[in-house]
Structure 1
Amino acid sequence: MNNLFRSLCVAGMLCTAGIADAQINWPAITQTNKPWTRWWWEGSAVNKADLTTVMQQYAKAGLGGLEIVPIYGVKGTEKQWLNFLSPEWMQMLDHTLGEGKRLNLGIDMANGTGWPFGGPWIHEDNAAKTINYKTYTLAEGQKLQEKIVFQQETLLRFAGQERVKIEEVKNPVYSNKNLQSLALDQIKYPGSFPATLVMAYSNDGQQINLTDKVSAAGDLNWTAPKGSWTVYALFQSLHGKMVERAAPGGEGYAMDHFSLKAIDHYLGKFDESFKGHDLSSLRAFFNDSYEVDDATGQASWTPDFLNEFQKRRGYDLRNYLPALFGKDKEELNSRVIYDYRLTINDLIYENYTKAWHTWSAQKGKLVRNQAHGSPANILDLYGAIDIPETEGTELLRFKVASSAGNVTGKQLISSESATWLDEHFVSTLGDVKQAVDNYFVGGINHVFYHGLNYSPAKAPFPGWLFYASVHFQPANPFWNDFSTLNNYIAHCQSFLQNSTPDNDVLLYYPFTDIISKTGGALLKHFDAIDKEFKGTGFKENAEIMSDHGYAFDYISDKQLMNVKNEGNELLTGKSKYKTIVLPNNKLIPLETWQQLMKLASQGATILVYKGLPEDVPGMEKLAERQTAYKQSIASLHFTNDGNLQKANLGNGQFVIGNDILKLLDYAHIRKETLAHDSLTYIRKKNENGGIYFIANKAASAYGGWINLATNASSAIIYHPMTEKAGIAKTKQNADGSLSVYVQMKKGESLLLQTASKTLTGKSYEYLKPAGESVVISGSWKLHFEEGGPVLPKDVVMQQLQSWTNLPGEEVKKFSGTASYTTSFAKPKGGAEKWLLDLGDVRDNAEVFLNGKKIATLIGPVFTVVVDASTLLQNNTLLIKVANTMANRVIDMEKNHENYKVFYNINFPARKPANKGADGLFTAENWSPLPSGLLSSVTLTPMTFIK
């Protein structure tokens, strides 16, 4: 074990003495292993006393760190607002950093308020721009009678409920003092704009720049010469995108993400504000996704774009405006739009992402970035920073961030977790666990909850809230049991963060094909593969490999250039791969192809799905590049081998086939058959062997042998929820791989550590029923311990049922924790273990037997194994159950108590059915949700499986 590992013996763990089983150690839990959370400062209305109070609560609950994101304010607290980056705001940051250091809470900080980057110091010159165009036709001898001007239509998009007319919004927008209440998402003032470029194109291929022939009034002083002419006029204007969910002092235009001048100006505000402050304990800066173009129109231009284009693409775009806008021959249109989009890609990569990273690194800070949504190759954007971060629910989407992290050797890959997991107030800790497990399977190892609001002690229930959150608040009844989930995640991440990927396949990311497509908007945006890559071989291959148990990562053209041969394997970052798959992409940059040829010649196997790329993209030196590509293709001599075609090249080969599974089989790529057993997994490795995280997503328990596509002699099972561990029951397969016997409840997960040597120590406990279940009968005392709006009176129950079914109204309104207490005689029989099954629980339970806590259970299955030695002749069972916030909120809604007191978007419904007449979320029509113990509690005798 490395020096991060230490022996950890806890209650229920299968070790007897402190160092008795040195081979079955849990890694030590670090600050980074623990889950972190987004931490919203609404209105930045924070104070030192409440900051200290809540941060102590967070640390006690097992959180590892906080990401500060100032957002819109709370109505009625305006006098407490602190303008973002003001001296007063910086004092609160200083205090937070100091308390974080004292409490061992890491602190990250968003490089802005809300999203995307922008603010009141972003004026027109540095704000996001768009390009518009108009065309005019002239015959020989004609002069244009129409003025060349662009009349911009008024646009006002609001996030909040307040509505005003454009005349009521001062121009410039950052001069308005009421931007919090206006909650503008986008604004375009009416007006006329002059052309920034005017070009004339003849039907016989001539181009003439007429920009200097247009007067300030828009009159074109030019008579068309011989031929038919089309005049193109470009008009640059403000895109008008505003910072969404902006905090006080952060309202304003979104910045121009393609301009180095703009990012330098934007970050200069931070430089100025940070002077004289000790930021040494700040870990990282953060960006909450691109999201500039979730608006009307696109941010598609920057003032120096034409010069940047010519410098990068080698020709003058002014001569190809018809092709840029899809009005020329299809092939030319495709090549020019590719070059335009590639230039945008380069600018956001260099002038924004890398420039921001350099600025942060100079301060000794990391960068966490959500690159998805960008009009660029997001694999490269993720690869250019320190911690890639994803969000959502789709496994193949997660893999964009994790792939970029894997192929560039990053230790941490994070996730914005549990965003809009369900409707407000109903998500449980068990729901969150299932979502987090899915992130782990997708390659994530650094969980950030979405999220937690700073809420002062005096704030009435349910406290200050964010509209798209599970509401990880101390006011939430699940808070007392929150540490159980956090401890589980910490144990998982202690393995996942201290291991490297063990994937075999690099799946080529066909960015070139997508940005060469004509039609539609100027820019393509990259996020979930269902959108951009629908109907492509890339999406098809990714889905098939995922479904059939093949471990793979995506790789970009830029990242491929850093891949090196190591014998027949491919080395990139800290990982080795066995093959590269080309997914029937039609176009490929010449440099990428030449790198593939080099890798193959030195020993790599390149698998080609259906066919080789047909051409190279773009315009620059096209004939030269096409010739080089065709000659290279011609040097490959393919022969038929059954359904495959093979071409040897040096020590390696290219193999073409129409069935990706047969291609992978030919290349001897490992396949994890447990993917067919309703189990999801991720395979990694550390210095001790292989690491598997496995989650049971089936609707029932799983018990049986699973075959691991890893050569090993033995394995340890670590159960991160119960903290039990032991040597697994295994058998060796003829091919050197290992089969492991596992038992997993519905929704349960475990970690496997394989080893090449035979391990010694305590065996993992496998149990099976040894008789019929016994119902714990008799009366139960129900006592409401904490919560509200009031504590109902104690009740004695003869039959367990939802406490909302009991007489009276107080039980129906109650959200909080209640305890159930009963006594029972020791069951007959000589079982060594008993399975205590709480049945249907709403929604999490803390279990005490004879005064000793034995488990906290968060579901979806509520069982715990009890040693027979802990049972007395007469026993006392105490079960504390917490429900959700929903029932108390339902009561508040029916009584018209207003807790939706937020500026900007306030509190929308997750689901349309829960949208009220005012457009906001409502639970007024809900019935109380079942709460407590809903069914019989049983004990089942258990025996060991030998």
Structure 2
Amino acid sequence: MKKPLALALALGAALPQLPARAQAPAWPAITQQNRPWTRWWWEGSAVNAPDLTHLLTQYEQAGLGGVEITAIYGVKGAESQFIDFISPKWLDMLGHTLTEGKKLNLGVDVAQASGWPFGGPWVTPADACKYVAYQTYSVKGGEQLAEKISFMQKPIATAIGHKVDIKQLKDPVATNANLQALALEQVRFEKPLPLQALMAYPEKGAAIDLTSKVDATGKLSWTAPAGTWTLYAIFQGWHGKQVERAGPGGEGDVVDHFSKVATQHYLQRFDQAFKGRDVKGVRAFFNDSYEVDDAQGEANWTPLMFSEFQRRRGYDLRQHLPALFAKASADENARVLTDYRETISELLLENYTQTWATWAHGYGAKIRNQAHGSPANILDLYAATDIPETEGENLTRIKFASSAAHVTGKPLTSAETATWENDHFLSKLSNVKKAVDRMLLGGVNHVFYHGTAYSPQAAAWPGWLFYAAVEFNPQNPFWQDFGQLNRYAARCQSFLQAGQPANDVLLYLPQYDAYQRPGKVLLQHFDGIEHGFKGLPIDATSELLLKQGFGYDFISDKQVQQVQASGTGLRTSGGAQYRTILVPAARTMPLATWQHLVGLAQAGATVVVQGQLPTDVPGLGNLTQRQAAFKKLTAQLQFNPTAGGQRATIGKGAFLLGADVPQLLAQAGVQRETLVDSGLQFERRRTTGGHTYFLANWGDQPLNAWVPLATSAKSANLYDPLTGQLGVASLRQSTKGRPEVYVQLPPGGSCLLDTKATAAATGPAYVYYRPTSAPQPVAGPWDVRFVSGGPTLPAPMRATQLDSWTKLAGEAGQKFAGTASYTTSFTLPSGSAEGYLLDLGRVGQSARVQLNGQDLGTLIGPAYQLYVPKSQLKASNILAVSVSNGMANRIADMDRTGQEWKKFYNVNMAAKLKENRGADGLFTAAPWSPIESGLLGPVTLTPMAAGGPPL
């Protein structure tokens, strides 16, 4: 019977509102972007369509999401197959790759140099990177300078792996033959340098510009007025840096990154190459780090430096050349040096990064950029990049790229991952997993492996390789199980690419305190905290925040000036929300930044200042007025003592000042994640109605504990990205009113938490396990059969006791790289356990497990364990374990027996560790003892109870 509408509405209004239900746990659909990508080196660009298709198919089958093509130096013996970088044939191969990638759902990025940094044979001397040289002269009143105003550039010629005679080189460098064999690093030809300025400085007063009084021969026509005059002559030199690791058609000078004209000329060569071609399939163009100055001297000048400086800083640098070269007072030296470094930073940002980004956007593509190592504020460079990319092993370093992405609303932060994780052939998939985890913990959500070398099917093992580890190639036996790592990374990134950043603290980067630090050279290169900020208060503070569990992002002055107050919190230009900003004892701060911080506090925000307020403005221009305005602002802050510090209320908000950073942050309403106290590390993102946590246990003990969360949570779904297990987590409220989730993680383990603040849980519970009795051995014997690899397959054998196959299989086992199958039978253990923990013990290096013909999973470590429900066991059972090792033992045998595999131009091959360098300084594995391989055990079954968390 239908009820009248009014009655139905009344009944509905009288019913209590049911709580919202959380979505049942489920893995997101994996996209191309979720999957890890890889750097794909085209050695000599000696590629062909059939092998490209074959390799791309293998990459897709292994679970990769895309490739970044980097043309690189070639392979000896393959010269007839070399293809010049961005030649018509090269672009044909790119077109084929784009077509095949689209079929396979593989993305394609392209490095925009053959090697790094940007440069090549089309870079003219006018567009090549420059340096400044200076010379001083002394003239007394009434006299003329007898010396010629001149500077002869000293010749330099360096190459990889051999000496080179500059007399045998042609100028320009790109006109020389056989550049692959030459492998040039840096070339400066002996030549007179052009004069940029000649300034005469009296003992007191303004300098006089004498540049126009110098003729073509260098003769100065000028009689000095009364007094003693010091003349500074500024010359512009050619830095001579060559593109590193360049391939055919890519060798040449590095471009002047500070010149917009030079950058545009560089990019025009690509316009010419792309004309009439469809390159819309290129997702992003890539720059593989700055690295202009890892040579003699530095590229620290550009032709328009003086005019750019005056336009930006408001005064004439030529009036302060002694200060630029640290010959004036300490204060003037610091201020002029700061202004010079700030100008360099802006030129690199605007004339290179932004110019390049605009060009790429014209092709419907993005830019991916490694800004670290640049002589600039790298937060601003990353912010101008569509996909900021980092590398390395230090979390604070990694966070520079992710911070810029978070603050400016970039959805992706990429990372060159596992570069030199270990020396060649030594990295295990478990090691790479930790490298991936490190990136995820640093805010990265788009991993690029370093890397994969194109290797044709016809190439003898080990195929074509790159000079820097890790070898993510099908020739590596671990490729058999590589897909498990890729599934893991894809699952993690499917969560971490969703939502918004959820850090609470903006950590102000004291760029100007760093700029003013004197050094032996003009430039200062910034790379994380270690390079540029080491020893400043932010050094210790950034580490303290990590250890104490405070989520933070670095922020630059430019970015601070775009932050808005949002209630009592802060909102950045990219829409990210933060609770406060922390200034780590900065001594100098631009007036505009200080004005903005005071304004934010007046609008309701809380600004936390560690140690001391900034006391001065940086730079020299308009100094008196800026200092007065700065002091006037500071005078508005009237501090009163509080617990652990001082507080100055201003407008709707306040400044907090003190030495105890955790206490100050607590007063600002920031709750730390105390889960770090149990050895966990975390990355956190904000989602609709809740948060996502990535948790990693990097301790050496398993974690079985209630994990407290600093965010509100009524329910939580728990995901194991390595095994695929998922379910509704056990959650309780602590006595302090904070949610706690029960988590079990082995050493090296990780998981994802998806919490909801108000929604109730829906779906099956996450299953926890606890042992009910002691482990029981799976004793064997084991039938061992070598199924793939080489150089030859060792004979099958029966092992009564597990050990490395390098011991069990004789000489053939000592040099074997590949996969072996271990099979044994066992009876159903006695007792009434719900299931069993199968622990393989030690494994060298990864394993695929079958029980009674059914796949149980792939184990890549560091823990080699999986749960077996009792329902999968029979009275008599057959356990089969396929174990793959790495390339090391076979390579070591090749080095000991003189088999050629190192056949590459350029570095051929570098070693990470000193002990792995031969007499020639290059890599050798000849001294290595056989590395443990195979199933090492002991293999055990532990009876387990499955269900809720242990009480």
- TM-score of the superposition, structure 2-length normalised? 0.96
Query: How far does residue 300 in structure 1 lie from its aligned partner after superposition?
Result: 0.6
CA deviation string 1:655-692 (max 9, x = no partner):
11012122112112111111111111111121141110
Show the counterpart of 1:584: 585
Show the counterpart of 1:665: 666
* 1:909 counterpart (892, 906, 911): 911
Q: Secondary structure at the match of 1:149?
A: coil
Show the counterpart of 2:938: 936
User: Partner letter of residue 104 of structure 2?
Assistant: L
- Judge which range, 670-679 or 21-30, deviates more: 21-30
- Judge which range, 780-789 or 212-221, deviates more: 212-221
| Partners of 1:437 and 1:194 in 2: CA distance | 51
Show the counterpart of 2:595: 594
Query: How far does residue 227 in structure 1 lie from its aligned partner after superposition?
Result: 0.9
Show the counterpart of 1:46: 47
Contact 2:22/2:761, CA 8 A, preserved across alignment: no
Show the counterpart of 1:215: 215
| Partners of 1:817 and 1:888 in 2: CA distance | 13
- Judge which range, 767-776 or 115-124, deviates more: 767-776
Structure 2 residue runs without a partner (length 5+): 1-20
| Partners of 2:268 and 2:91 in 1: CA distance | 15
Query: How far does residue 832 in structure 1 lie from its aligned partner after superposition?
Result: 1.0
User: Partner letter of residue 68 of structure 2?
Assistant: E
CA deviation string 1:512-553 (max 9, x = no partner):
111122342111111020221112111121111111000010
User: Partner letter of residue 440 of structure 2?
Assistant: F
Query: How far does residue 945 in structure 1 lie from its aligned partner after superposition?
Result: 5.3
**Does residue 138 in structure 1 map to residue 139 in structure 2?**
yes
Show the counterpart of 2:439: 439
Residues 643 and 875 of structure 1, relative CA distance in 2, 3 Å threshold: closer
Contact 1:730/1:741, CA 8 A, preserved across alignment: yes
| Partners of 2:213 and 2:598 in 1: CA distance | 51
Q: Secondary structure at the match of 1:477?
A: coil
Structure 1 residue runs without a partner (length 5+): 1-19
User: Partner letter of residue 645 of structure 2?
Assistant: L
Contact 1:323/1:336, CA 8 A, preserved across alignment: yes
CA deviation string 1:124-182 (max 9, x = no partner):
000000001011112222322222211222212212x2322110111111111221111
CA deviation string 1:356-386 (max 9, x = no partner):
0000111110111000111110000000111
| Partners of 2:378 and 2:542 in 1: CA distance | 17
| Partners of 1:797 and 1:525 in 2: CA distance | 57
Contact 2:452/2:472, CA 8 A, preserved across alignment: yes
Show the counterpart of 2:69: 68
Show the counterpart of 2:707: 706
Show the counterpart of 1:469: 469
Contact 2:611/2:657, CA 8 A, preserved across alignment: yes
| Partners of 1:333 and 1:401 in 2: CA distance | 31
Query: How far does residue 185 in structure 1 lie from its aligned partner after superposition?
Result: 1.2
Contact 1:766/1:944, CA 8 A, preserved across alignment: yes
Show the counterpart of 1:77: 78
- What aligned pairs does 1:244-255 form with structure 2 within 5 A after superposition? 244-255=244-255
CA deviation string 1:309-368 (max 9, x = no partner):
111111111111111111111111111111111111111111100000000111110111
- Cα root mean square deviation, aligned: 1.2
| Partners of 1:28 and 1:286 in 2: CA distance | 27
Show the counterpart of 1:292: 292
Show the counterpart of 1:34: 35
| Partners of 1:642 and 1:846 in 2: CA distance | 58
CA deviation string 1:177-219 (max 9, x = no partner):
2211111111111233242211110101231111122222222
Show the counterpart of 2:102: 101
Show the counterpart of 2:860: 858
**Does residue 196 in structure 1 map to residue 196 in structure 2?**
yes
- What aligned pairs does 1:99-138 form with structure 2 within 5 A after superposition? 99-138=100-139
Show the counterpart of 1:729: 730
User: Partner letter of residue 469 of structure 1?
Assistant: A
* 1:839 counterpart (841, 845, 854): 841
- What aligned pairs does 1:247-326 form with structure 2 within 5 A after superposition? 247-326=247-326
Contact 2:795/2:809, CA 8 A, preserved across alignment: no
Show the counterpart of 1:610: 611
Show the counterpart of 1:891: 893
| Partners of 2:483 and 2:509 in 1: CA distance | 40
- Judge which range, 213-222 or 268-277, deviates more: 213-222
**Does residue 338 in structure 1 map to residue 338 in structure 2?**
yes
| Partners of 1:29 and 1:149 in 2: CA distance | 64
Show the counterpart of 1:157: 158
- What aligned pairs does 1:608-687 form with structure 2 within 5 A after superposition? 608-687=609-688
Query: How far does residue 123 in structure 1 lie from its aligned partner after superposition?
Result: 1.0
Contact 2:158/2:164, CA 8 A, preserved across alignment: no
User: Partner letter of residue 893 of structure 1?
Assistant: D
State the identity %: 52
User: Partner letter of residue 211 of structure 2?
Assistant: T
| Partners of 1:335 and 1:581 in 2: CA distance | 25
Residues 217 and 937 of structure 1, relative CA distance in 2, 3 Å threshold: same
| Partners of 2:809 and 2:533 in 1: CA distance | 56
Residues 328 and 603 of structure 1, relative CA distance in 2, 3 Å threshold: same
- What aligned pairs does 1:473-488 form with structure 2 within 5 A after superposition? 473-488=473-488
Query: How far does residue 733 in structure 1 lie from its aligned partner after superposition?
Result: 2.8
Contact 1:204/1:227, CA 8 A, preserved across alignment: no
Query: How far does residue 786 in structure 1 lie from its aligned partner after superposition?
Result: 0.3
| Partners of 2:801 and 2:689 in 1: CA distance | 51
- Judge which range, 143-152 or 263-272, deviates more: 143-152
| Partners of 1:68 and 1:135 in 2: CA distance | 48
Q: Secondary structure at the match of 1:89?
A: helix
CA deviation string 1:80-127 (max 9, x = no partner):
000011111010000000000000000000111110000000010000
Show the counterpart of 2:91: 90
Residues 830 and 21 of structure 1, relative CA distance in 2, 3 Å threshold: farther
| Partners of 2:809 and 2:648 in 1: CA distance | 79
- TM-score of the superposition, structure 1-length normalised? 0.97
Query: How far does residue 471 in structure 1 lie from its aligned partner after superposition?
Result: 0.4
**Does residue 176 in structure 1 map to residue 176 in structure 2?**
yes
Contact 1:201/1:230, CA 8 A, preserved across alignment: yes
**Does residue 785 in structure 1 map to residue 790 in structure 2?**
no
| Partners of 1:902 and 1:666 in 2: CA distance | 60
Show the counterpart of 1:15: none
Q: Secondary structure at the match of 2:810?
A: coil
Q: Secondary structure at the match of 1:805?
A: helix
| Partners of 2:643 and 2:665 in 1: CA distance | 15
Residues 883 and 144 of structure 1, relative CA distance in 2, 3 Å threshold: same
Show the counterpart of 2:555: 555
Q: Secondary structure at the match of 1:256?
A: coil
Contact 1:712/1:736, CA 8 A, preserved across alignment: no
Show the counterpart of 1:497: 497
CA deviation string 1:711-752 (max 9, x = no partner):
111211101111111111111135542101111011110000
User: Partner letter of residue 492 of structure 2?
Assistant: C
Q: Secondary structure at the match of 1:617?
A: coil
| Partners of 1:550 and 1:347 in 2: CA distance | 34
**Does residue 773 in structure 1 map to residue 775 in structure 2?**
yes
User: Partner letter of residue 155 of structure 2?
Assistant: T
Contact 1:118/1:255, CA 8 A, preserved across alignment: yes
Show the counterpart of 1:817: 819
| Partners of 1:706 and 1:206 in 2: CA distance | 67
User: Partner letter of residue 444 of structure 2?
Assistant: I
| Partners of 1:156 and 1:708 in 2: CA distance | 59
Q: Secondary structure at the match of 1:268?
A: helix
